[in-house]
């Protein structure tokens, strides 16, 4: 019994060492496991370092040319969201500037704007936004709404002062309800804080799957699963899977120290919990992805097949993991399909622990699902490994086996 355990442990360790050598001797694996896993998140995130879009160039078409219309234009320009860069004389000129890309929004102040306000009538301001660009549209619309609200409040306060009311009373009546806004978990209300932590999880999963696929494609081309003879007796699939997956987990625990600690601090993302709190969950996640990669990669005949397959499913992973659209709003079938990927479970758990500061009790569901995924993909990897070797043996007459040495 003890001898069998010792031999199993030695074989797993031998396969571990062999896969480590294979990983570092393969340029593609090094590029994916080390370079891409560290550099790609940094390159992706540098475009979002400013967090929010500010000073968007817009045009104001003032057809009234009154004191109030000029005041509205100045208030609009004073907002942080937009900057009034053009004041064309007509809407047609503004349209030309828009299509030339010089502005990203148009605010039209109609004629008799001031007269309508003095008569106590409702004056209209028309805002043209590019709804095809969501964040630009949001900022232009927010600036126009804020400016309109400020001017409405000023006019209402002046009207009440003219009737003899005190200033404080006028302000209180104008602002009967004063909201207090607290931006929890994303103080800057920035896009980077919203999207990048989730992208980090996707990068870990997808690069790991690509790297495993490249290595297994190479094993398939060379007709052997390990490139070493440092094993004793008969080698079983379970030893191969444990030995190889341990290599991938060790490599990615090292690379995630860079992306989830150094890079995370460099970007200044909210952090309510240290890296050690998410470490057990990260271990489950990487093992689940490793077993998933082994389960599907044994079917790749060539290295390029792995790359093509993972690149193909990457957009699917992005849309199903809950970043692009909330999981609760996805159709039932799509939601179930999303749980085939460990990122779908790891992403909310990471946000709860790292950004929201929750405890392990808050991610009990995610831990259970990740554990099920890990065990499920481990079993699938065992079955797939056996079936793939049998399939290859029938088609080519060459058995994709493990080298054995006498005990």
Residue 229 lies in a domain: yes
Are residues 237 and 383 located together in one domain of the fold?
yes
Residues of the chain with pLDDT under 70: 1, 3-4, 158, 161-162, 164, 167, 169-178, 223-235, 389-407
Residue 222 lies in a domain: yes
Query: Per DSSP, what are the bridge partners of residue 108?
Result: 61, 126
What confidence score (pLDDT) does residue 117 get?
83
Are residues 157 and 75 located together in one domain of the fold?
yes
Residue 181 lies in a domain: no
Are residues 42 and 60 located together in one domain of the fold?
no
What confidence score (pLDDT) does residue 174 get?
65
Are residues 224 and 148 located together in one domain of the fold?
no
What confidence score (pLDDT) does residue 407 get?
39
Q: At residue 86, what are phi and psi to the nearest 5 degrees? A: -135, 145
Are residues 19 and 70 located together in one domain of the fold?
no
Looking at 174, 202, 235, which one is the last position of a domain? Answer: 174
Residue 314 lies in a domain: yes
Looking at 174, 199, 226, which one is the last position of a domain? Answer: 174
What confidence score (pLDDT) does residue 162 get?
67
Closest CA to 347 of 375, 372, 319: 319
What confidence score (pLDDT) does residue 332 get?
83
Which DSSP string corresponds to 217-244?
Answer: HHHHHHTBS-S-----S---HHHHHHHH
Start-end of H helices in 163-236: 167-174, 191-222
Are residues 194 and 164 located together in one domain of the fold?
no
What confidence score (pLDDT) does residue 169 get?
63
What confidence score (pLDDT) does residue 391 get?
65
Residue 179 lies in a domain: no
DSSP 235: -
Q: What is the CATH number of the domain that holds 126?
A: 3.40.1710.10
CB 188 within 8 A of CB 269: no
- Its domain, for residue 26, covers 2-48+190-396
Are residues 254 and 289 located together in one domain of the fold?
yes
Are residues 243 and 361 located together in one domain of the fold?
yes
Query: Per DSSP, what are the bridge partners of residue 60?
Result: 107
Residue-wise pLDDT tens digits, 87-105:
999 999 999 999 998 999 9
CB 48 within 8 A of CB 263: no
Residue 330 lies in a domain: yes
Are residues 339 and 208 located together in one domain of the fold?
yes
**H/E stretch holding 73:** helix 67-78
What confidence score (pLDDT) does residue 234 get?
60
Are residues 61 and 43 located together in one domain of the fold?
no
pTM here is: 0.79
Are residues 241 and 292 located together in one domain of the fold?
yes
Distance CA 302, CA 279 (A): 34
Residue 180 lies in a domain: no
Classify residue 236 by burial, with Cβ atoms within 10 Å: 0-12, 13-18, 19+.
middle
Residue-wise pLDDT tens digits, 189-229:
777 788 888 888 898 999 999 889 888 887 777 766 554 45
Looking at 174, 201, 234, which one is the last position of a domain? Answer: 174
Count how many domains the chain has.
2
Residue 183 lies in a domain: no
Are residues 382 and 321 located together in one domain of the fold?
yes
> Which residue reads 């409040």 in tokens?
153
């Amino acid at each position: 019994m003890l001898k069998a355990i010792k031999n199993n442990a030695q074989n797993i360790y031998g396969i571990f060492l062999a896969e480590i050598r294979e990983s570092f001797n393969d340029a593609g694996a090094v590029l994916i496991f080390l370079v891409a896993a560290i550099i790609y998140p940094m390159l992706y995130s540098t475009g979002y370092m400013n967090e929010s879009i500010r000073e968007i160039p817009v045009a104001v078409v003032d057809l009234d040319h009154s004191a109030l219309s000029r005041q509205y234009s100045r208030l609009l320009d004073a907002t942080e969201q937009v900057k009034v860069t053009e004041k064309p004389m007509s809407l047609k000129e503004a349209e030309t500037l828009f299509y030339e890309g010089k502005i990203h929004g148009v605010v039209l102040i109609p004629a008799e704007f001031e007269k309508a306000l003095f008569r106590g009538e409702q004056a209209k301001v028309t805002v043209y936004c590019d709804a095809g660009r969501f964040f630009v549209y949001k900022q232009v619309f927010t600036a126009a709404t804020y400016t309109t609200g400020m001017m409405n409040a000023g006019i209402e306060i002046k009207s009440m002062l003219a009737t003899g009311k005190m200033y404080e009373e006028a302000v209180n009546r104008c602002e009967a309800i004063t909201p207090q806004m607290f931006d929890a978990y994303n103080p800057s209300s920035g896009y980077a804080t919203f999207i990048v932590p989730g992208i980090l999880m996707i990068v870990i999963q997808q690069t790991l799957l690509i790297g495993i696929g490249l290595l297994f494609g190479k094993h398939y081309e060379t007709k052997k699963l390990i490139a070493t003879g440092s094993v004793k007796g008969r080698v079983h699939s379970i030893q191969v899977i444990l030995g190889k997956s341990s290599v991938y987990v060790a490599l990615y625990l090292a690379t995630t120290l860079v992306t989830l600690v150094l890079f995370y601090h460099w970007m200044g993302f909210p952090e309510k919990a240290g890296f050690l709190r998410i470490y057990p969950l990260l271990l489950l996640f990487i093992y689940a992805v490793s077993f998933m990669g082994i389960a599907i990669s044994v079917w790749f005949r060539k290295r390029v097949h792995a790359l093509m397959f993972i690149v193909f499913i990457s957009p699917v992973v992005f849309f199903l993991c809950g970043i692009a659209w909330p999981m609760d709003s996805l159709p039932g079938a799509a939601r179930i399909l999303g749980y085939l990927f460990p990122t779908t479970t790891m992403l909310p758990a990471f946000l709860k622990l790292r950004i929201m500061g929750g405890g392990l009790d808050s991610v009990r569901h995610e831990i259970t699902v990740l554990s099920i995924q890990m065990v499920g993909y481990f079993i699938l990897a065992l079955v797939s490994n056996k079936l793939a070797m049998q399939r290859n043996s029938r088609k080519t007459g060459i058995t994709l086996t493990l080298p054995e040495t006498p005990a």
